[in-house]
Structure 1
């Protein structure tokens, strides 16, 4: 058992700090949130012994929680380490409210997620530059992917079971362990997957982290391959640094950023601290001498900004918050992926638990209909942009900005041929076979805002699932593609349908089925996007919040578009690069 050392003991300090309204601690940097990105930043900044760093986190140290340490996906969901947010009812999905999972622990969502480590396609990262972010592209972030990674080469038995890799795309000396579960030993399923996908013209991808995810492959995970323990951000970045005298983790919830009386020479707001609320409701202010880094996640970072007077003035006034920076993009551009399952039973007693990720393009999904789908999608962009703007009540000028974002996404899908859907094939215990599939680039845009200035833990989340009908068409095509896999030889002889499948159904039947059973993927991005201010951006290319001198955001909220890979890999690379930017630009 690993003892809770200095940082763990410092959790108790919060109680004494919170109980006193006069005692004020100060730090050079305050990081809001001990999640995936926040802990990377805290670690890298505290490498400088001359500065002090505080991390404020409402969750606890869960290093000995079996639901966190296990590599069995789903163990931590719906437990006290899961915020388990609920959306408003979705009119496009059977008028149902959706659950959104997010980690409430040191490590944030990396403590409860599926641990998948897959980056995405080159063109998706290159598109960030088109959004007003010079220097943000695949080449600039690739170095940081490798910097964070400690890749473990698969064993011979894991290679026989389907794991493949190419060394040049991986890092071997970073803090984040990446590899395959020890139980991945039997190779009997690998040739069945290979031959079935080959019959459907889906090629094998030798390394899904190469900058192209097209095809199928077995993705690695963030785990220690020897101990079979989840390697979340706390194990990777906090535990090795917890004895640094200049780093503290304090338990509490940041309600708002506090501001200095005057502005900077450039007329920007200057943050001087944060108001922290403890579990018992007491509050205190911690001072920041240099910068504040908000890393509360895509569903909480907008709430911190709004509570601090940054956002859409109309929303802020309705909350009783004085508008200080007019940024209508705060909480907007929420992109959540619709997700669905097909479940089968099968005779695979000799195969170990495993997962294959299959990525397909719009051309593969729509086939002969591709040209018609491309044209219809392009023509629908103004309608979807207006629907998103009307739902959020933003100014009509912003409709043009939304249209531009959607056109860039359209070009990614239909001109750059990036992957449009992921189909995850899973062998689970008790002879369960499944496909979890989702649309990678939905055109629907939602929002997350404070519902009350006093309820920071209760976001008003509206992803607007299927607001854009393209998303429903993509899900329908992906579902049929996944179903075709299980019903094709040689896979067909291995399984039988167990769950509700609309085999051979008409479009209307598929659409009704999806609306009634779709779920959210819990991959939210975009709510404090790194984009030009004219496009509705919230942070600049140095991740500094527009209108402020010393507040930055580093988490999934700044990712302006979805990526084909799983968010975890992108967030580690982004946070590593952000840390260097902060070190370079802090005065």
Structure 2
């Protein structure tokens, strides 16, 4: 047992049993059965000498057609989507934005776009620069391969644009990765490839190599033969659910309970987890070794705050006793601004989408040096803006500056990709590009609104708090515009447009000011057509 007095445990057990909810004890308790939590549950429970509990408010959705389908968007805005709403964003038309997150065994992997593309080598190496020795591309790449069960594309799928290099993939792991069987139409791929190459965006033979720049078709987390989504539950929980030492609990892991350690330093150790069922009744699960908090980006901070871990000023306003003053809890939320442009054209619908990853050099061209200099000089201003928006005592400005400086180096020194652009052929003669910034400098937050309501987070992504993010989106939009108006795409697809949604007027040859206004007032919307691949 982890430095917890027997007297405290016995007293707590008596109180709990008297209320009708007797304690169960586990070596490990995992809060959240999502993308990561189930991987941990699987690996820990391989050792049959330890017991593992997983707490999840969602349920088993393995037979839900919205989950098994490989068509993106089927699970959005359904009961398995938390569908949180952000607060109004003053820099983005004063609108609110949907923040999708999965509510099921498998978490957000049950509703996401399934795209399986690793980041740039420099991104993973940056983890080590931030103070995590041993966390870099070289050390984690073998685990990428170990987790993957890659199905190589067929000849017809390769004709449609799917390419790969076997040295970057694993073939025996639990997570199926491949391409949908419907990917057989090869008439569109050569047009896309030639158009991007004329814009100096090269074809990338494998987007999972750690060198991401260029154009290619990324695989997805799916079973190519059965044509079903391979979410975290299917990959990691279903094969392990027969283990007698692994137990799923339906409910919300509300808070971690604490006890003082025996070391004499006054430190806290986890005593257990309070679980709330659908009827509002509380049960306490006792932990012998560790609590693993894996509730996702939008819920993990809420559990910490409900447990007394966070900014003491925020906890006091919520009526929660501060157990550990940790001001960074709920801060540094990063949300990638997203947008799309649509055109009219004449091409057969494609069964998937094509990715193009572009760098700052691709976006800003001859202005790159000037943009780099202005961006570097703006880092202190953006750091101060993030700290001020979070309130007194929330963030260390110098720490934010360090993170933003490393991010600046990724973009301008190591040429990490700055934006992603999808090319989609949709029903109804719609040609579309969804695009987003990969490294926004804006920083937001997520906190408890009321101590009793973990299902109602206060989410403030602070979209476009840093003006560079809007400039990146404008530059990406111009690349999209150039793509659809370039040969051979323009002629072979009979491209006309763009087709602007809503009442906003975006003229041809729009100025930077017009692009900024358009993006700030219409961005982050889902495509108005049934997409077969993620935005």
Q: Residues 135-284 of structure 1 correspond to what in structure 2 (within 5 A)?
A: 135-262=134-261, 264=263, 267-284=266-283
1:448 aligns with 2:435: no
Once residues 369 and 437 of structure 2 are traced to their aligned partners in structure 1, the CA distance between those partners, rounded to angstroms, is 19
Q: Residues 146-545 of structure 1 correspond to what in structure 2 (within 5 A)?
A: 146-262=145-261, 264=263, 267-349=266-348, 352-395=350-393, 398-493=396-491, 494=493, 495-497=495-497, 499-500=499-500, 502-519=507-524
Once residues 369 and 441 of structure 1 are traced to their aligned partners in structure 2, the CA distance between those partners, rounded to angstroms, is 19
Corresponding residue SS for 1:304: helix
Q: Residues 17-36 of structure 1 correspond to what in structure 2 (within 5 A)?
A: 21-36=20-35
Q: Judge conservation of contact 1:27–1:287 (CA < 8 Å) in 2.
A: yes
Once residues 520 and 274 of structure 1 are traced to their aligned partners in structure 2, the CA distance between those partners, rounded to angstroms, is 38
Deviations 1:463-500 (A, max 9, x none): 00000000000000001101110111111120332521
Structure 1 or 2, whichever has the larger Rg, is 2
1:343 Cα deviation from its structure 2 partner: 1.3
TM-score, normalised on structure 2? Answer: 0.92
1:37 Cα deviation from its structure 2 partner: 0.1
1:346 Cα deviation from its structure 2 partner: 2.4
1:344 Cα deviation from its structure 2 partner: 2.1
Once residues 316 and 444 of structure 1 are traced to their aligned partners in structure 2, the CA distance between those partners, rounded to angstroms, is 24
Once residues 373 and 394 of structure 2 are traced to their aligned partners in structure 1, the CA distance between those partners, rounded to angstroms, is 25
Which runs of 5 or more structure 2 residues have no equivalent in the other structure?
A: 1-15, 501-505, 527-532
Match of 2:86 in 1: 87
Higher RCO, Cα 8 Å, sep 6+: 1
Match of 1:582 in 2: none
Corresponding residue SS for 1:413: helix
Deviations 1:396-423 (A, max 9, x none): 8711111111111111111111110000
Deviations 1:123-176 (A, max 9, x none): 011011111111111111111111110000110110111000000100101110
Q: Judge conservation of contact 2:350–2:424 (CA < 8 Å) in 1.
A: no
Q: Judge conservation of contact 1:164–1:206 (CA < 8 Å) in 2.
A: yes
Q: Judge conservation of contact 1:337–1:520 (CA < 8 Å) in 2.
A: no
Deviations 1:167-187 (A, max 9, x none): 010010111000000000121
Once residues 487 and 362 of structure 2 are traced to their aligned partners in structure 1, the CA distance between those partners, rounded to angstroms, is 19
Once residues 455 and 91 of structure 1 are traced to their aligned partners in structure 2, the CA distance between those partners, rounded to angstroms, is 25
Corresponding residue SS for 2:353: strand
Once residues 174 and 99 of structure 1 are traced to their aligned partners in structure 2, the CA distance between those partners, rounded to angstroms, is 34
Q: Judge conservation of contact 1:21–1:283 (CA < 8 Å) in 2.
A: no
Once residues 296 and 357 of structure 1 are traced to their aligned partners in structure 2, the CA distance between those partners, rounded to angstroms, is 29
Q: Judge conservation of contact 1:18–1:282 (CA < 8 Å) in 2.
A: no
Once residues 437 and 271 of structure 1 are traced to their aligned partners in structure 2, the CA distance between those partners, rounded to angstroms, is 43
Distance 1:368 1:19, change over 3 A: farther
Distance 1:431 1:21, change over 3 A: farther
Matched residue count: 506
Once residues 387 and 108 of structure 1 are traced to their aligned partners in structure 2, the CA distance between those partners, rounded to angstroms, is 32
Once residues 436 and 37 of structure 1 are traced to their aligned partners in structure 2, the CA distance between those partners, rounded to angstroms, is 27
Q: Judge conservation of contact 2:149–2:170 (CA < 8 Å) in 1.
A: yes
Q: Report the RMSD for the aligned CA atoms in angstroms.
A: 1.8
Corresponding residue SS for 1:347: coil
Deviations 1:535-581 (A, max 9, x none): xxxxxxxxxxxxxxxxxxxxxxxxxxxxxxx99xxxxxxxxxxxxxx
Deviations 1:7-28 (A, max 9, x none): xxxxxxxxxx999643111111
Match of 2:530 in 1: none
